[in-house]
Structure 1
Amino acid sequence: MVFPALSRSARSAAAAVAAAMLASMLVAVATPAAAVSSGPASVAIDPGFAGFADRLPIAVAAAAEIAGQTPEGEVARVSGVITVADELELGQGRSFVVAYAPGADVSSPLAAAGVAADGTYALDAPLGDIVLAVVSEGRSVFDQWGRLGVDLSSAETTSLPAEGLVYDVQLQRSALASGTVTVPAGAVVAGQKVAVVVYPVGGAGEIATAAGFVSDAGTFAVGGIPTGDYRVAFVSVASGAASEWWNDAPTFAKGRTATLTTGTATDVSVALQALLILDTSVPTITGTTTVGQTLKAAPGQWTTGATLTYQWYANGSAIVKATKSSLLLPAAVAGKKITVRVTGAKATYATKAQTSAATAAVLRPLAAPVPVIIGVTTVGQTLKVKTGTWTAGTRLSYQWYIDGVAVAKATGAAYKIPASATRKTITVVVKGTKTGYASASKRSKATAAVKGILSAPVPTIAGSTVVGSRLTARPGTWTAGTTLRYQWYANGKAIKGATASSLVLAAGVVKARITVKVTGSKSGYITAARTSAKSGVVSYPSRTKPSGWNCPAWAPIKGNASSMIYHVPGGRSYKATKPEECFSSGAAAVKAGYRKAKR
């Protein structure tokens, strides 16, 4: 039956009726004083069962205590027939028609009468204003308050005349939770020591929908429940019978759901245990299942204060001395699956154990040395990996990386360095696999930054190879940002101080062939040098200007511009001639329009 939340005054009155269970922390109504054969229970219950004080059969207990008694003063008879919707019989349980004074609470009726099996009743109540109700226990019906009320406070007031009145009521059907409670030998449920409390699944176990007591015979039936999903608590203060959630669950969250349907009695029988049920969780195992690695057991949530112990197993056999929450995997368990059993113990609770799921088979570790890269770290060069000695039979695979980024298709034992690796480092990861062993991957140390290759064309020389002329080096197009240096050579010998991009030919290089070497440098690149092809032979010019009266030794022929006559050394007028031009040969003078002196 569903009871409304009580007012403060009603709670006070209910407390007086609940003396038998108040001391046991049920904080609710228990048995009427006349029904209590022994004193208050002395066994405390888990306070986790909450919100059902106002759902116990307070009104029925109070009505049963005065049923059949005639109130003092003038009375009149209220009579009628109590029926059930769908023309069903009342069935098991009991119902009372109750008269209350306006404003009274359910624990303080004026008069009450039991309803017979055929639904009839006869109630003698005081004349005047009263509130009528039909309350039930152990039946699949809802209580009726007046004719339209949802609780006592909302029921209408009726004036009872001396000639009496007829109060016929059709009760509405509800769901019914029923069954039996068995307890361990020596435990006694008589005296309302076990309450059956029905909570809605969606309510988190905080406020009950209905509640009732287990009879002395161990049976129960709790009605007044709408159709829906519920979880049922059995709250015991009986010595030797512990509370629990249906069925064999320690908490509301782990209780089994019972679907209750209007007009149907749903069996939620239970066998209470001598000790409380420990809240447990299935443990889980974390870690790598390889010999030499450590596994850890995560026990999950257990009842607060429970002492947990551990035992590790390999293929179901206990591992000697493996009784901690972690396990260093020994070689002896290679190839086996590991589980851990967690056992919880706490005073007044039944010891309980949970075993984890099995791990994958434990693998052996591979001997896996760190690889070494050998080779020159320059673009275009090929690097190789020295793997070291792995466990015999290990299959190796490779992956090369540039600055930590895997290179597509670079999966061989050798790797030719591309231009894209310039200024970057190279590593290689060697992975080993073998049946029954844990795969292992080892990464090499990074190489030095890869040196790039400069674009370095062969230079060319532009200009005349005549003494006094300027030769210019044309280096071509080098890699952008390259710094160029020059060195000029005569017959392969460096010309001192000739380090510019051009060279004025001096007499000292006559008869030599000239080359130039261009050297390029750039950060992150290999320095490169290129040498030009040889020039033609350096020679003097065919004519030159004199120095006063003299011509240079390489152009000894004097030319007299006024007469257009040239004089050769040893000639009669050679010394007496002040030349305007000097020629290297008579042919050069003739070519210039001069004629030779006659003597």
Structure 2
Amino acid sequence: MATGNDRHSRHIIIIILGGSMTTTTARKPLRTAVTCLLAVGIAMSTMAAKQRPLEEICDWDAEAGQEFCFFDQQPLEDAPYQALPQLTGTQEVGSTLSAVLPESRVSFDVLTYQWLRNGSAIPGATSATFKLTDADIGKTMGLTVYGEAYPYEDAGDTFTAETPVKGHLLTAGTPVSTGTKRVGSVLTVNPGTWSQGTKISYRWLRNGVVIPGAATSSYKLTQADLAKRISIKVTGMKPLFTPVTRHIVGAAAVAPSGTSLANRTLPAITGTPTVGSALKATPGTWSQTGTTFKYQWLRHRAIPIQGATGSSYEVTAADIEHKNLSVKVYAAKPGWIGASAVSASTGRVVR
């Protein structure tokens, strides 16, 4: 008898001579060795795994003037991977995961299961269902399934959950933020009532971006926050529980502080008010350093001169008919309310 490793296995061949039947032997390629006792209709297989079907093949030998037949084994069909049970269920502690068979014409003779935690086999978890416990929190679950279904090749596959297992549900509070949204003011958040033993953390954000170092329940608004939206994220954490974050977004942007800039000495003009000459303006002194200035030149202290918005101005013939010239200075600083001041007037404009 030949083994399954022989590329040519010996077969019993039936030779038909008129009305009588004799037997002889021949060699023909086979995948697995089979010896058939055709005279008594008994077939024995040496396959260690599944019994593959036998097919009778006959042909006519013209030279010998006789027909000969032999039996050959047919290959199994491709493994039905699409028919294997799929992993289903909610990835939350206390829930039960299941291996559910999809709709298929394939009926498995044998199905075996092995549940996995972070890719490692869970001892004893070999049924079609698995209940998630505290040991699974934060872990990624998986399921290896092996199935046998004649006349298919054996099929096996591993399925992995898309998300880790969530912990117990945390009772989250409702945070409340208080304070005036002006530069220099302090905002404070009350986290509300959470599950006992919950650790609370805070993160203040400016236009959705975390503010470095702002990680307590209060925050003092600075000039960097002016015209920005300030929000706060309150996160609760507890062992074996899924963290919860509450986000409070401010409805309005941060306003300047309630203090206005104050002029200490008026702006001044240097130069002679004659046609073609240049006048020069200085902004005066103000209550805060770091103040920026804009200018507007005036006729009769009230009529803006179109386009004359720099710190210097060249007198034109159009100014002659007016009695005098002056300049208005606008002062600004982030976080402060802006102010303005008008210089003293020049003498009458002449040619």
TM-score range, shorter chain: 0.3 to 0.5
As a proportion of its length, which structure holds more strand?
Answer: 2
Q: Which has the higher contact order (CA 8 A, sep 6+)?
A: 2
Taking structure 1 as the reference length, what is the TM-score of the superposition? 0.30
Larger Rg: 1
Larger fraction in helix: 1
TM-score by length of 2: 0.47
